[in-house]
Amino acid sequence: MGLNKTTRRRFLQGTGLAAAGVALRGAGGLLGQTASKGVDAHIDIVPGEPIGTIAPEIYSHFIEHLGGVIYDGVWVGEGSKIANVNGIRKAFIDTMKAVQAPVLRWPGGCFADSYDWHDGIGPGAKRPQRTGFWSQEDTNKYGTHEFMQTCKAIGCEPYLAANVRSLPPKDFYQWMEYCNAPAGTGNALADLRAANGDKEPFNVQYWGVGNESWGCGGNQTPEEYAGEYRRFTAYLPQYEGGKPLHLVVCGPNGDDVHWTSELGKALHGNHPWGLSTHYYTSGDAKKFAEGDALKFTDAEHYDLLARGAHMERIITDHWGALEETDPTHKTRLVIDEWGAWYGKGTQLNAHYNLSQQSTMRDALLSGITFDIFQKHADKMAMANVAQSINCIHSLMLAQEDKFTVTPVFHVFQMYMPHRGGTAVRAEFSAETIVNTLATVSPVGGNSAVGSIAPDQRLAGLSGSASISASNPKTMTLTVVNPHLDRVMTAEIAIAGASIAGVSGTVLAEADIHAHNDFAHPDAVKPRAAAMGTPVAGRLTHSFPAASVTSLQLRLA
């Protein structure tokens, strides 16, 4: 089976091979396999064509003062009967450790541009209660110190989003001073931090300058926001021995290339470390943030995955737009909000805004998304799932003493071996799936701006491959089979190497609607994949219907 024309064209464009005149073979895949009986697809991996190092930070996280994310999800309070570490839910910490969360973003989201960090420091009982962005009361019991303790307990780096809409630059650089100034030098904010319990600086390196400044962050034009960015970052405190600052500028809504292009020009030669880019996949083909997380048809399943796969164009379009003013790519992409966003109906609690269930469909979307990030490892600095617990595309659900992980958690874990490895070209040749809902125009609202047209087809098998940083003879191959009723048997070949051994895990359930809940926390979980034996250095593997698979290949 050969590549379809569009896939072939996009792949060649993405790698520059089209210009170099490299021809892919027709039938049988890139490495020239003959079409064998019972084989539906070919996966051809070319270790000699590295894409880039996979930043572990693309597996990062995000929590916001919203619904049941912070209060109940993360923070249960020191006196709680729920197992906790200094008030932080222990199960949250343990789960984030289990996926070795690299970075955690906080306090928003839209909440960040209404948040005054001064409210969240000092004795808990004296902190003021405020009405936060989501019209929700915030007791401020969870503030900067509690967030830093959360990161420390997990072993991850903090990523703070600063308020640009409703506070002046002084509050930004003083929050930085409060977090990063060394104690014992007479610095008043470092002394205040020490008096509040933390003598050692927090050493925060990741700072977002506002959030969604085209929307909740101030309804600004790219030119207006660029002026704010320049003003907010004209001076920032840095300390000897501290970590270098990584500034993240507010990027586009979905595929709004105009924003990125105009922002680049108006930054006048400023090249931040990262461009914050948000892309959500709506649960409904016509309306943003609608659709049912649990009840969906086969056609809706395929359509959601097809719209999720738009992530690839989000990456390549904005990378191209950045290039206009940053030809050497000093700025890389920080996709600090992504996931499937459904409407009401499956929330844990009536008061938990944006709380939703996650099924196997969301596991498949996670795999497709990570594989896209890895195919563009050279462009991706970080990505943060929205949001880690009790929210949109969550790894965990918690309510009081009840807790479960979701299928999304398992995909995070299954993709861990990729981290820090070198992503290499992996070519998938399989018949595509027709998306019957693709006639509907792109969804309105958040993430819809830009040029994305409905995708008529979804890849029949997709994935990514990487070579381990510690052992060049170990390769990780992750694969998503989106077919609801078709096992896909693929022949896997590696250019210039033989497959000598293989092991792996698979996440697959008979029903795509399968999910975990408090009564059935293990209803969905991965198992060891049934393996064949490599023959003549190639492996034939059957990927179950509606599955995510992670294979470890031993090369010879």
Q: Is 120 exposed, middle or buried (0-12, 13-18, 19+ CB in 10 A)?
A: buried
Nearest distance, CB of residue 194 and ligand AHR, angstroms? 32
- The site that binds ligand AHR (CB under 6 A) totals a number of residues, namely 11
Asked if residue 138 binds ligand AHR (CB under 6 A), the reply is no
Is the Cβ of residue 171 or residue 337 nearer to ligand AHR in the bound state?
A: 337
Asked if residue 383 binds ligand AHR (CB under 6 A), the reply is no
The span from the CA of 217 to the CA of 153, in Å, is: 30
Is the Cβ of residue 39 or residue 382 nearer to ligand AHR in the bound state?
A: 382
Q: Which residue has the tokens 């909740």?
A: 216
Identify the residue among 171, 212, 255, 455 touching ligand AHR (CB under 6 A).
212
Q: Which of 412, 328, 398 is nearest to 370 (CA)?
A: 412
> Which amino acid, 379?
K
Cβ-contact 64, 107 below 8 angstroms: yes
Nearest distance, CB of residue 399 and ligand AHR, angstroms? 19
Is the Cβ of residue 63 or residue 475 nearer to ligand AHR in the bound state?
A: 63
Residue 173: CB partners within 8 Å, gap ≥ 6?
235, 236, 237
Is the Cβ of residue 67 or residue 526 nearer to ligand AHR in the bound state?
A: 67
How big is the CA angle at 482 (ends 101 and 367), to the nearest 5 degrees?
10
Radius of gyration of the chain from its Cα atoms, rounded to whole angstroms:
23
Helical (H) or strand (E) element with 222: helix 222-233
Q: Which of 240, 309, 229 is nearest to 272 (CA)?
A: 229
Is the Cβ of residue 212 or residue 262 nearer to ligand AHR in the bound state?
A: 212
Considering only residues 61 to 120 of the shown chain, the ones binding ligand AHR according to CB under 6 A are 64, 108-110
The span from the CA of 228 to the CA of 263, in Å, is: 11
Nearest distance, CB of residue 332 and ligand AHR, angstroms? 20
Residue 427: phi and psi, rounded to 5, are -105, 125
Is the Cβ of residue 212 or residue 303 nearer to ligand AHR in the bound state?
A: 212
Considering only residues 291 to 310 of the shown chain, the ones binding ligand AHR according to CB under 6 A are none
Considering only residues 436 to 455 of the shown chain, the ones binding ligand AHR according to CB under 6 A are 446
> Which amino acid, 297?
T
Is the Cβ of residue 267 or residue 386 nearer to ligand AHR in the bound state?
A: 386
Identify the residue among 58, 285, 305, 386 touching ligand AHR (CB under 6 A).
386
What stretches of 309-404 show up as alpha helix (H) in DSSP?
A: 311-323, 360-375
Nearest distance, CB of residue 216 and ligand AHR, angstroms? 6
The span from the CA of 267 to the CA of 252, in Å, is: 14
Stretch that binds ligand AHR, among 90-98, 221-229, 385-393, 509-517 (CB under 6 A): 385-393
Identify the residue among 43, 311, 392, 398 touching ligand AHR (CB under 6 A).
392
Residue 319: CB partners within 8 Å, gap ≥ 6?
329, 333, 376, 379
At 370, list the tokens. 């990570």
CA atoms within 13 A on the CB side of 262: 14
Nearest distance, CB of residue 421 and ligand AHR, angstroms? 29
Residue 251: phi and psi, rounded to 5, are -95, -155
Name the residue number minimizing CB distance to ligand AHR.
Answer: 109
Cβ-contact 161, 105 below 8 angstroms: yes
Collapse the DSSP code of 366 into the 3-class scheme (helix H, G, I; strand E, B; otherwise coil) and give the result: helix
Nearest distance, CB of residue 367 and ligand AHR, angstroms? 21
Is the Cβ of residue 110 or residue 502 nearer to ligand AHR in the bound state?
A: 110
At 257, list the tokens. 């290339």
Q: Which residues are catalytic?
A: 212, 337
Helical (H) or strand (E) element with 259: helix 257-266
In this structure, the chain runs to a length of 556
CA atoms within 13 A on the CB side of 182: 8
Stretch that binds ligand AHR, among 234-242, 386-394, 437-445, 490-498 (CB under 6 A): 386-394
Rama region for 289: left / alpha / beta (φ>0; ψ in -120 to 50; rest): left
Nearest distance, CB of residue 215 and ligand AHR, angstroms? 7
Stretch that binds ligand AHR, among 97-105, 136-144, 360-368, 384-392 (CB under 6 A): 384-392
Question: What string marks each residue from 334 to 363 as x (binds ligand AHR by CB under 6 A) or -?
Answer: ---x--------------------------
Nearest distance, CB of residue 107 and ligand AHR, angstroms? 10
Is the Cβ of residue 58 or residue 190 nearer to ligand AHR in the bound state?
A: 58
Question: What string marks each residue from 310 to 339 as x (binds ligand AHR by CB under 6 A) or -?
Answer: ---------------------------x--
Asked if residue 162 binds ligand AHR (CB under 6 A), the reply is no
Asked if residue 387 binds ligand AHR (CB under 6 A), the reply is yes
Nearest distance, CB of residue 349 and ligand AHR, angstroms? 17
The span from the CA of 422 to the CA of 473, in Å, is: 12
Asked if residue 211 binds ligand AHR (CB under 6 A), the reply is yes
**Residues that bind ligand AHR in the complex, under the rule CB under 6 A:** 64, 108-110, 211-212, 337, 386-387, 392, 446
